[in-house]
Amino acid sequence: MSELVTGSTLFEPTSADDRRLAQRAPEGLLREANQAGAITAADVHTAVRVGRLAGEEREPVLLALALAVHAVVSGSTCLDLGAAVDPRVEIEWPEPAGWLEQVQDSPLVATGVLRVEHGLIYLDRYHEQEVQVARDLEQRLQATAETHDESLLATGLERLFPPVGDAAGDGGDGRHDPVEQRAAARVAVTRGTTVLTGGPGTGKTTTVARLLALLVEQAEQRPGGHRLRIALCAPTARAAAQLRDAVTRAASDMSAADQARIEGLEALTMHRLLGWKPGSSNRFRHDRRNRLPHDVVVVDEASMVSLTLMARLLEALRPETRLVVVGDPDQLASVDAGAVLADLVAGLRGRAGDEDVVEDGADDGVAGDEVEVEASGGDGVRPGLGPPVVRLTHTYRFGGGIGDLAQAIRDGDAGRALAVLAGADDVDLVADPDDVRHRLVRQAVDLRRRAAAGDGEGALRALAGHRLLCAHRTGPFGVSAWNRLVEQWVSEETGETFWTPMYPGRPLLVTSNDYANDLLNGDTGVVIRSADGVLRAELETTGGRRLLPTSRLSDIETMHAMTVHKAQGSQADHVTVLLPELDSPLLTRELLYTGVTRAQRHVTVVGTPEVLRAAIARRTHRASGLAQRLGAADGGGDTGVPA
Ligand SMILES: Nc1ncnc2c1ncn2[C@@H]1O[C@H](COP(=O)(O)OP(=O)(O)OP(=O)(O)O)[C@@H](O)[C@H]1O
């Protein structure tokens, strides 16, 4: 049985002066919930102040408001009162049904501060965004996609996704028939909106690149057709740069004509695509009144897209703009509120009824594998039925063990995960963190040796060879402690105890976008001693290798270890995932899956079987009504009138 953990975590006050405690909170439920760590001082003050302005004094309602504020900070877009009753918090919890009624009758709802719908309590802004996203998507689903030339599409699919081998889809020479990718591309050509999902290395970007060539080819055939305006975007600058590189790489396998069709494509952050607006962090130059001019918009790494950002993107799209949303819904969700990709998949799948498994051979003359194509109409590849969710399942990148482990985690099958960890060569489970000491020290010493000799390229190679991933930043299982520990181990091993802030071999992680130096949040590097004896930073950036004076670097951290969150979107040869303690709120299936799938060749999980089982059993739950709205097919409620 899988256990759901809400994103909301309890805090333990460190003293009576802990800044998370509201010193002037009124006696009663709010104070008790605050002291039990369920809500912070900021939540209490917001609830008391807003309650006063709206004329609401009832404690249960103010508690619901404080919890709704807290829920958003914890990643949910609304508050599910039933799930909010946390048995670890020993207060007189109101009885949920009566509690909800009290909220519904509150002036907070009458004045529009709170919205109640489907039994969920929203802060107005998130309700508005959720309704808008559902409505905009619904309208896109109902719209008919631009017509396509079927025979051109058929030849284009054969050319760009050439069938391989026999009826089993196996070339016999290790090549795999891209039957799923071909079906996915067909869906995306025939629909105005497509959600393309799949684990790492399933060829999502490759499919997108080839799909774009197909779309440009279709546009070329239209009488008086113009060159397609295509936007590639992603939620972070680094993910955008990686998307651009991956599309460029994928193009290198294409014919000259197809390469020409997609050459020169750039990728932007979603913020840049939408256009900054001075003085506003979540309103953009492009909106419903000033829509984006593009014919095709591709959003990659969509698991990291928040509800707010998705709302802004959808309102800025012209109805006829083709939208392709790409990502892995099993990974950790966005830092800001929402789990939009997972909600889209769940909601659209809900409309479809059972998941459809479509024989691709019927459409493209290729007998072979089954393709998981989830479509609203029940036929995954028939045009004109509204936008489907398409999932790629064949992994091109990993050896068997990593792929099998990822699949077992995704399926919530701890027994199978443990069996894979015990049996496969490219994955292992070690219980004692000391067991990874040797590997970490070896890497750090290697880095130090190469860096001291001025071998920047070698140092970067050594750095890319292995990543230690932690769930937490602080605490005994956190990045800070492990950074110190590795330095201490290396000192013990080598007798060198001079750890100045900038030492040769110090691995670096860039922690914010630094456009002046052409560095992006997530870029990595190593401090090296150049031939002239001066310390410089050799950096691996999305634009290539860079050598910079260390004095030019501002937001950087030591990177003997990094968080799984930070590693999202990047890969390393060998990854060690350090699981946190059993009672850590971050110990979840999504965290483990995201960590494991960062590895290209080998993964080591550090933790006991018990901790691993707990991780796989616990799913992060972000309260949201989006999946329900999409599944409801009418786009959900109207203007937020309480149910
Ligand atoms: N049809 C195919 N035939 C052979 N190799 C393929 C095919 N599709 C993808 N690949 C290869 O598989 C690897 C992963 O592909 P790609 O980067 O497109 O996957 P992805 O799903 O976008 O991965 P990630 O989410 O990790 O970025 C690449 O090396 C790519 O060249």
DSSP 372-437: EEE-TTS-TT-TTS---EEEE---SSS-HHHHHHHHHHHHT-HHHHHHHHHH-TTEEEES-GGGGH
Q: What atom of ligand 1 comes closest to residue 392's alpha carbon?
A: 21
Ligand 1 pocket mutation, candidates 300, 396, 593, criterion most atoms within 8 A of CB: 396
Residue 398: predicted pLDDT: 64
Q: Is 200 within any annotated ligand binding site?
A: yes
Q: How far is the CA of 587 from the centre of ligand 1 (A)?
A: 29
For the Cβ of 558 lying below 6 angstroms from any atom of ligand 1, the answer is no
For the Cβ of 380 lying below 6 angstroms from any atom of ligand 1, the answer is no
Residue 374: predicted pLDDT: 43
For the Cβ of 204 lying below 6 angstroms from any atom of ligand 1, the answer is yes
Q: Per residue in 45-83, pLDDT tens?
A: 889 899 889 888 898 999 999 999 998 988 899 998 888
pLDDT for 318 beyond 80 = yes
DSSP 284-322: -SSBTTB----SEEEE-SGGG--HHHHHHHHHHS-TTSE
Ligand 1 pocket mutation, candidates 159, 161, 195, 205, criterion most atoms within 8 A of CB: 205
Residue 158: predicted pLDDT: 94
Closest Cα to atom 15, ligand 1: which residue? 203
Residues facing 548 on adjacent strands: 537
Rounded to whole angstroms, the Cα distance separating 502 from 482 reads 18
Indicate if 268 and 315 belong to the same structural domain.
Answer: yes
- Residue 218 placed within a domain: yes
Residue 379: predicted pLDDT: 31
What is the 8-class DSSP label of residue 229? Answer: -
Read off the pLDDT of each residue in 398-421 and give the average, rounded to a whole number.
91
Indicate if 212 and 118 belong to the same structural domain.
Answer: no
- Residue 613 placed within a domain: no
For the Cβ of 569 lying below 6 angstroms from any atom of ligand 1, the answer is no
Give me the sign of the Cα torsion angle 183, 186, 191, 192. positive
Q: How far is the CA of 374 from the centre of ligand 1 (A)?
A: 21
- Residue 240 placed within a domain: yes
Least confident of 86-90, 136-140, 298-302, 346-350: 86-90
Counting Cβ atoms within 10 Å, is residue 350 exposed (0-12), middle (13-18) or buried (19+)? middle
Distances (CA, A) of 228 to 128, 197, 254, 261, 324: 33, 24, 19, 9, 15
For the Cβ of 202 lying below 6 angstroms from any atom of ligand 1, the answer is yes
Rounded to whole angstroms, the Cα distance separating 554 from 511 reads 9
Q: What atom of ligand 1 comes closest to residue 249's alpha carbon?
A: 31
**End position of a domain, from candidates 578, 595, 627:** 578
Confidence bin at 453 (pLDDT 50/70/90): very high
CA 193 centroid distance within chain: 20
Rounded to whole angstroms, the Cα distance separating 475 from 482 reads 9
For the Cβ of 395 lying below 6 angstroms from any atom of ligand 1, the answer is no
**Domain CATH code at residue 90:** 1.10.10.1020
Q: Per residue in 472-501, pLDDT tens?
A: 998 888 999 999 999 999 888 888 775 677
**Domain CATH code at residue 336:** 3.40.50.300
Indicate if 106 and 193 belong to the same structural domain.
Answer: no
* Contacts within 8 Å (CB) and 24+ apart, 510-518: 510/539, 510/553, 510/555, 510/556, 511/555, 511/556, 511/557, 512/554, 512/555, 513/237, 514/553, 514/554, 514/555, 517/546, 517/548, 517/552, 517/553, 518/543, 518/546
Q: Is 205 within any annotated ligand binding site?
A: yes
Domain span holding position 191:
148-160+179-351+386-392
Indicate if 112 and 214 belong to the same structural domain.
Answer: no
Q: What atom of ligand 1 comes closest to residue 208's alpha carbon?
A: 18
Q: What atom of ligand 1 comes closest to residue 250's alpha carbon?
A: 31
Rounded to whole angstroms, the Cα distance separating 579 from 595 reads 10
Rounded to whole angstroms, the Cα distance separating 184 from 205 reads 12
Confidence bin at 196 (pLDDT 50/70/90): very high
The residue that leads in pLDDT, 301 or 200, is 301
Closest Cα to atom 24, ligand 1: which residue? 200
Confidence bin at 352 (pLDDT 50/70/90): low
What is the tally of structural domains in the chain?
3
Read off the pLDDT of each residue in 578-592 and give the average, rounded to a whole number.
90
Indicate if 154 and 105 belong to the same structural domain.
Answer: no
For the Cβ of 200 lying below 6 angstroms from any atom of ligand 1, the answer is yes
Least confident of 30-44, 58-72, 402-416, 421-435: 30-44
Q: How far is the CA of 418 from the centre of ligand 1 (A)?
A: 27
Indicate if 50 and 153 belong to the same structural domain.
Answer: no
For the Cβ of 239 lying below 6 angstroms from any atom of ligand 1, the answer is no
Q: How far is the CA of 204 from the centre of ligand 1 (A)?
A: 6
Indicate if 526 and 468 belong to the same structural domain.
Answer: yes
Indicate if 81 and 203 belong to the same structural domain.
Answer: no
pLDDT for 214 beyond 90 = yes
The residue that leads in pLDDT, 489 or 358, is 489
Q: Per residue in 500-552, pLDDT tens?
A: 778 899 999 998 888 788 888 888 899 999 888 899 999 988 677 889 999 89
Indicate if 435 and 565 belong to the same structural domain.
Answer: yes
CB-based contact 134:153 (threshold 8 Å): no
Q: What percent of the chain has pLDDT over 90?
A: 48
Residue 133: predicted pLDDT: 96
- Residue 643 placed within a domain: no
Residue 518: predicted pLDDT: 80
Residue 8: predicted pLDDT: 54
Q: How far is the CA of 357 from the centre of ligand 1 (A)?
A: 22
Q: What percent of the chain has pLDDT over 70?
A: 85
For the Cβ of 600 lying below 6 angstroms from any atom of ligand 1, the answer is no
Q: Is 201 within any annotated ligand binding site?
A: yes
- Residue 269 placed within a domain: yes
Query: Hey, what are 271's tokens?
Result: 């913020």
Residue 522: predicted pLDDT: 83
How does the average pLDDT of the chain come out, rounded? 84
DSSP 235-256: SSHHHHHHHHHHHHHHHTTS-H
Rounded to whole angstroms, the Cα distance separating 265 from 259 reads 11
**Domain CATH code at residue 511:** 3.40.50
Q: How far is the CA of 74 from the centre of ligand 1 (A)?
A: 33
CB-based contact 245:280 (threshold 8 Å): no
For the Cβ of 525 lying below 6 angstroms from any atom of ligand 1, the answer is no
For the Cβ of 197 lying below 6 angstroms from any atom of ligand 1, the answer is no
Rounded to whole angstroms, the Cα distance separating 377 from 351 reads 8
Q: What atom of ligand 1 comes closest to residue 181's alpha carbon?
A: 1
Indicate if 101 and 184 belong to the same structural domain.
Answer: no
Q: Which of 230-234, 330-334, 398-402 has the highest mean pLDDT?
A: 230-234
The residue that leads in pLDDT, 155 or 269, is 155
Ligand 1 pocket mutation, candidates 159, 179, 206, criterion most atoms within 8 A of CB: 206
118: left (phi over 0), alpha (psi -120 to 50) or beta: left
CB-based contact 575:597 (threshold 8 Å): no
Residue 635: predicted pLDDT: 44
Q: What atom of ligand 1 comes closest to residue 246's alpha carbon?
A: 17
Rounded to whole angstroms, the Cα distance separating 301 from 169 reads 28
Q: What atom of ligand 1 comes closest to residue 161's alpha carbon?
A: 1
For the Cβ of 181 lying below 6 angstroms from any atom of ligand 1, the answer is yes
Residue 588: predicted pLDDT: 92
Indicate if 154 and 118 belong to the same structural domain.
Answer: no
Residue 369: predicted pLDDT: 33
- Residue 288 placed within a domain: yes
For the Cβ of 245 lying below 6 angstroms from any atom of ligand 1, the answer is no
Q: How far is the CA of 422 from the centre of ligand 1 (A)?
A: 27
- Residue 196 placed within a domain: yes
| Pairing of the two strands 120-123 and 79-80 | antiparallel
Q: How far is the CA of 129 from the centre of ligand 1 (A)?
A: 34
Indicate if 82 and 207 belong to the same structural domain.
Answer: no
- Residue 53 placed within a domain: yes
Residue 54: predicted pLDDT: 86
